[in-house]
Structure 1
Amino acid sequence: MTVHRSDEDAQPCLAPGSPGREPADRPASTPLLPPSLRAWLGLIAGLAALGVLVLGVLYAGHSEPGRVDGWFVEPTADSVRPPWRYAALATDFLGEPGGAATLVVAAVTGCLLLRWPRAAVLVVAGAALTVGATTLLKPVVGRTIHGEGNLSYPSGHTAFLTALALVVALLAAGRLGLGRAAALALVLAAALVAGAAMGWAQVALGAHYPTDVLGGWCTALAVVPATAWLVDRVADSRRHGRR
């Protein structure tokens, strides 16, 4: 008696974790930059980079508030009092080395627990490149506050917290499978809330001019989407190379 086997029966049975089979929803292969957002975030990143450049040119070498800064109330040393001063100091701490490191370690740990290594890479790379960009721009622009040694444009604290919020929002949008409108709203809302909170703290404490804060916010908007795209490209190319 001859037994006929179908092509499907002839295929080897692979365990979910064995080589050659990868679940469609495997976190490691989920793109960091959702395809539906690439064009929009690319446009936003370009406009943000232009904003950083324009503000840098306008305030290069300045040591006083500009016209745009005059639209905001500039707090004096004693105008922001408890409990708001405590809130400003607590928010400012999130951008200091100790607070920033704590946030990054917590975010990386969460990504690794979810078995999403490329997301962990984005957390570190996005924060590091954003802060690195502000550090490089400060001596180039040369804007100061409270004396020649205090370079102020763009705000590194604002850039860092905005970058971290952007990364977390991008990861959430991708993993939840949100539509374009919902995902874009989530990403922009996260960036706006984080940037506004840290920006208020920096201005309230007299550490930065309002336009420094805006420059830091735009720096994060320019750097994070580009970093996410780059990490996706590298991770995908390595994955295809193994195959």
Structure 2
Amino acid sequence: MTGRPTPSVLPPSLRAPLGLVAALAALVVLVIGALYADHSRPGRVDRWIVPPTADSVRPPWRRVALALDFLGEPAGSVLLVIVVVAGCLLLRRPRAAVLAVVGAVMVVGTATLLKHLVGRTIHGADNLSYPSGHTSFFTSLALVVALLATDRLGLGRTAGTPLVLGAALLAGAAMGWAEVALGAHYPTDALGGWCTALAVVPATAWLVDRAADRTADRSVGRAADAGQRELR
């Protein structure tokens, strides 16, 4: 008995639209990074969105911003990943659980690498800001949850694509607002972090599916070989 195949974490119907989104997001990340490389001040777009003194949010909204910011810190992010992984496993979606962990690692790693390559800073030379790691991390988990919901609800491209992108937009906007409101990032840093997740997570999901499919094929092949040997 081979059992039921494990559902793909990236539904086939969403591969083309999310692949296009990933390519466009990667382009945005590179363009913004090139525009603000080695900068230490807000750009024109940043000044349009918020004044230079953005760290002025007051309670109760400041407490909301701090709570969101905590979810991107090491302790909060680990807790959040554990919750998402547990939910995936309870729903018997091991590939989604793997993506929650691997996707978060890949997104945060990419954001960290880009920070050192771009060299944009805020509040001092030691505070690399582009892209926002908090925003990219939070968006990556939202994408995993949305992909899981798309699978569970059996949604196709027409309904699944806006669900996934809407969840990513909501998560990115929430965390991006918190980071800008607390003065930790410029608005374009948040945009770059959001686009980093949109570029990395679909590609990582495709790789997770590909690796899982190859493992399943090898298992089926070994089972078939064992059956043939028993018949001899």
Same structural fold, with TM-score higher than 0.5 when normalized by the shorter chain = yes
d(CA) in 1 for partners of 2:55, 2:37: 29
CA RMSD of aligned residues (A): 1.2
Q: 2:24 aligns with which of 42, 47, 69?
A: 47
Which residue of 178, 181, 184 maps to 2:158? 181
Could you tell me which of 119, 128, 144 is aligned with 2:96?
A: 119
Q: Is structure 2 residue 45 aligned with structure 1 residue 68?
A: yes
Alignment of 1:1-243 (within 5 A): 19-20=1-2, 22-23=3-4, 29-74=6-51, 76=53, 79-243=56-220
AA aligned to 1:242 is S
**Residue 111 of structure 1, CA deviation:** 1.6
Structure 2 contact 14–156 (Cα < 8 Å) conserved? no
C-alpha spacing 1:36/1:129, structure 2 compared with 1 (3 Å): same
The one-letter code sitting in structure 2 at the alignment partner of 1:91 is L
- CA deviation after TM superposition for structure 1 residue 77, in Å: 6.7
Q: Kindly provide the amino acid, as one letter, of the partner of residue 92 in structure 2.
A: R
Q: Distance in 2 between matches of 1:185 and 1:119?
A: 19
| SS of equivalent residue, structure 1 residue 232 | helix
Largest Rg, 1 or 2: 1
Cα deviation code 1:73-125 (max 9, x no counterpart): 23637621111111110111111111111110011111222232221111101
How far apart are the structure 2 equivalents of 1:103 and 1:204?
22
CA separation in 1, counterparts of 2:79 and 2:146?
Answer: 18
Q: Is the 8 A contact 2:55 2:183 kept in 1?
A: no
Residues of 2 paired with 1:200 and 1:40: CA distance?
27
**Contact conserved, 2:42 with 2:52, CA < 8 A, in 1?**
no
Q: Which residue of 1 aligns with 2:227?
A: none
Q: Whose helix fraction is larger, Structure 1's or Structure 2's?
A: 2
Structure 2: stretches of 5+ with no match in the other structure: 221-232
In structure 1, what is the Cα distance between the partners aligned to 2:188 and 2:91? 38
d(CA) in 1 for partners of 2:97 and 2:57? 37
Deviations 1:18-41 (Å, cap 9, x if unpaired)?
x23x23xx6xx1011111110000
Q: Which aligned segments of 4 or more residues in structure 1 are displaced greater than 6 angstroms? A: none
Does the CA-based 8 Å contact 1:75-1:203 persist in structure 2? no
In 1, the alpha carbon distance for the partners of 2:8 and 2:152 equals: 9
Equivalent position SS for 2:44? coil
Q: Which amino acid aligns with 1:46?
A: A
Alpha-carbon deviation of 1:69? 0.7
1:242, distance to aligned residue in structure 2 (A) = 0.9
Q: Which residue of 2 aligns with 1:11?
A: none
Question: Structure 1, unaligned stretches of length 5 or more?
Answer: 1-18
